[in-house]
Structure 1
Amino acid sequence: MNEEINNPAPVKEKGVPFGKLIAWSLRGGSTGVAMMILGYLTIFAVKTMRMPAALVGGLLLASKFIDGITDLFAGLIIDRTNTKMGRGRPYELCVIGMWLTTVLMFMMPESATMVVKSIWILVMYLFSNSIFYTFLNANSTVYMVRAFSSQKEYVQLSTYGGVVPMLIVLIFNVLFPTLMGTMATSQGGWVKLVLIFAVPLTVLGMLRFFVIKETNNVDVSAEGDKVNLKEVFQLLKKNRYIYIIALASLVINLLTNMGTGVFYFTEIVGNVKLMSVLAVSQVIVLPLMFIFPQMLKKMSVAKLVRIGLLVGAAAGIVNFFAGSNMILLVIGAILTGAGAVPVTMLAALMIIECADYNEHIGLSRMEGSLGAVNGFASKVGAGIGAGILGILIGLAGYDGNLAVQPDSAITMIRLLYSLIPAALNVVVYLVFRLYNLDKNISQIRAENEARRTEAEAKHEA
Structure 2
Amino acid sequence: MKKISFGTRVAYGCGDTACNIVYGMISTLLTLFYTDYAGVSPITIGMVMLISRVFDGSSDLIMGFLVDRTKSRWGKSRPWLLWMTAPYAIAAILMFTVPHSTEFVKGIYIFVTYNLTTTVIYTAINVPYGSLSTMMTRDSYQQDLLSIFRMILSPVGRIISVTFTMPLVKLFGDDQSAWVKTMFLWVAIAVALLLFCFFKCEETVKVDVKKEKKVSVKKNLKALLTNKYFWCVLGLWSIQVIHQTIVGTDLPYYCKYVFKNDSWMYSALYFLETAVMILGAMACPFLIKKWGKRNVTLAGSILAVVSHLLILVNPFSFQWFFVVTLIRSVGVSQLSATIFGMLGDVVEYGYWKNGFRQESLIFGGASLGFKVGTGIASALMTGLMTASGYISSTSGNVVQPASAVNTIGNIYKFGPVIIWVAAIILLLIYKLDKEYPSISKELEERELNEA
TM-score range, shorter chain: 0.7 to 0.9
**Aligned AA for 2:243?**
L
Match of 2:32 in 1: 44
The structure-2 alpha-carbon separation of the partners of 1:81 and 1:352, relative to structure 1 and needing over 3 Å to count, comes to: same
The structure-2 alpha-carbon separation of the partners of 1:449 and 1:275, relative to structure 1 and needing over 3 Å to count, comes to: same
- Offset at 1:185? 8.4
Q: Distance between the aligned counterparts of 1:127 and 1:276, measured in 2?
A: 31
The structure-2 alpha-carbon separation of the partners of 1:66 and 1:311, relative to structure 1 and needing over 3 Å to count, comes to: farther
Match of 2:127 in 1: 138
8 A contact 1:249–1:378 mirrored in 2: yes
Match of 2:422 in 1: 427
- Offset at 1:205? 3.2
Larger deviation, residues 407-416 vs 79-88: 407-416
The structure-2 alpha-carbon separation of the partners of 1:193 and 1:381, relative to structure 1 and needing over 3 Å to count, comes to: farther
- Offset at 1:204? 2.0
- Offset at 1:236? 2.6
Match of 1:403 in 2: 396
- Per chain length, whose mean CA-contact separation is higher, i.e. which structure has more relative contact order (CA < 8 Å, sep 6+)? 1
**Aligned AA for 2:233?**
I
Q: Which runs of 5+ in 1 are unaligned?
A: 1-12, 457-461
Equivalences for residues 253-268 of structure 1 within 5 A: 253-257=241-245, 259-260=248-249, 261-265=251-255
- Offset at 1:101? 4.2
Match of 2:280 in 1: 288
Q: Distance between the aligned counterparts of 1:25 and 1:370, measured in 2?
A: 20
TM-score of the aligned structures, taking structure 1 as reference length = 0.79
The structure-2 alpha-carbon separation of the partners of 1:68 and 1:165, relative to structure 1 and needing over 3 Å to count, comes to: closer
8 A contact 1:319–1:417 mirrored in 2: no
Equivalences for residues 36-435 of structure 1 within 5 A: 36-40=24-28, 44=32, 48=36, 51=41, 59-93=48-82, 94-98=84-88, 100-102=90-92, 104-105=94-95, 108=98, 112-113=102-103, 119=108, 122-148=111-137, 150-160=139-149, 162-171=151-160, 175=164, 197-217=186-206, 219-222=207-210, 226-257=214-245, 259-260=248-249, 261-265=251-255, 269-281=260-272, 282-314=274-306, 316-317=308-309, 325-335=317-327, 337-384=329-376, 393=385, 396-399=389-392, 401-408=394-401, 409-435=404-430
- Offset at 1:242? 0.8
TM-score of the aligned structures, taking structure 2 as reference length = 0.80
**Aligned AA for 2:279?**
P
8 A contact 2:144–2:285 mirrored in 1: yes
8 A contact 1:88–1:143 mirrored in 2: yes
The structure-2 alpha-carbon separation of the partners of 1:174 and 1:185, relative to structure 1 and needing over 3 Å to count, comes to: same
- Offset at 1:366? 1.0
Q: Distance between the aligned counterparts of 2:76 and 2:365, measured in 1?
A: 18
Indicate whether 1:439 and 2:428 are aligned: no
Larger deviation, residues 415-424 vs 182-191: 182-191
Provide the secondary structure at the position in 2 that maps to 1:353.
helix
Provide the secondary structure at the position in 1 that maps to 2:289.
coil
Q: Distance between the aligned counterparts of 1:83 and 1:133, measured in 2?
A: 20
Q: Distance between the aligned counterparts of 2:240 and 2:166, measured in 1?
A: 21
**Aligned AA for 1:24?**
Y
Q: Distance between the aligned counterparts of 1:323 and 1:341, measured in 2?
A: 23
**Paired positions, count:** 441
Match of 1:7 in 2: none
The structure-2 alpha-carbon separation of the partners of 1:250 and 1:33, relative to structure 1 and needing over 3 Å to count, comes to: farther
Q: Which runs of 5+ in 2 are unaligned?
A: none
